[in-house]
Amino acid sequence: MTPGDPVQTHPRTPSPWTPPRGSDVEMVQVGPYWDALRAPAEIGERALELLGDSSGAVIADYGLMYWLIPSGHAQDWQGLQQVQALGAHGAEVTYVGVPPAEWRDGPRLHWRIPVGPDWYITDTNRLREALVLAIAAEPAEGTTAR
């Protein structure tokens, strides 16, 4: 392995998964393959800059961004301002709209960072660090409490 190898920065996928190949959005159940973190796009863009090549796949939908994280890890994300963890919690079933693999332009639902050939999951520790810094860097002027 060489420094910067994707295996170093992107955990191996726990199960094979690919986005839909059709021509429409598919509602995918959160949990069997991945959990998701949802953040406002302005925070998400700052987090992407901080993550660089360490980010796994990211879905963008107008003003929101979704990172795919390891299944079962959403429960560890309580209390991070403006970030919502989506995962299988008890009897609750959650779905995320997933665009076809070819949709890479917005503003509609699209892949901001597409799924790679051997990864789609973002390392949760690096993602948490990036989101904390991105939230802290949010400009105070002109923002409203959410």
> How much is the pLDDT for 5?
36
Which two tokens mark 142? 């002109």
CA 76, CA 37: separation in Å to the nearest integer? Answer: 11
Asked if residue 143 is part of any domain, the answer here is: no
Token look-up 């998400």 returns 44
Burial of residue 52, with CB atoms counted within 10 A of its CB: 0-12 exposed, 13-18 middle, 19 or more buried: exposed
Q: Are 55 and 122 in contact (CB under 8 A)?
A: yes
Of 100, 102, 71, the residue nearest 85 (C-alpha): 71
CA 67, CA 112: separation in Å to the nearest integer? Answer: 10
Asked if residue 113 is part of any domain, the answer here is: yes
Asked if residue 12 is part of any domain, the answer here is: no
User: Tens digit of pLDDT for each residue in 33-59?
Assistant: 899 999 999 999 999 999 999 999 999
CA 109, CA 102: separation in Å to the nearest integer? Answer: 11
**Domain total of the chain:** 1
Asked if residue 146 is part of any domain, the answer here is: no
pTM of the model as a whole = 0.82
Asked if residue 8 is part of any domain, the answer here is: no
User: Tens digit of pLDDT for each residue in 76-95?
Assistant: 777 788 999 998 666 678 89
Domain that holds residue 109: 26-137
Q: What percent of the chain has pLDDT over 90?
A: 52
Asked if residue 142 is part of any domain, the answer here is: no
Rounded average pLDDT over 131-143: 76
Asked if residue 87 is part of any domain, the answer here is: yes
Asked if residue 17 is part of any domain, the answer here is: no
User: Tens digit of pLDDT for each residue in 100-109?
Assistant: 989 999 888 9
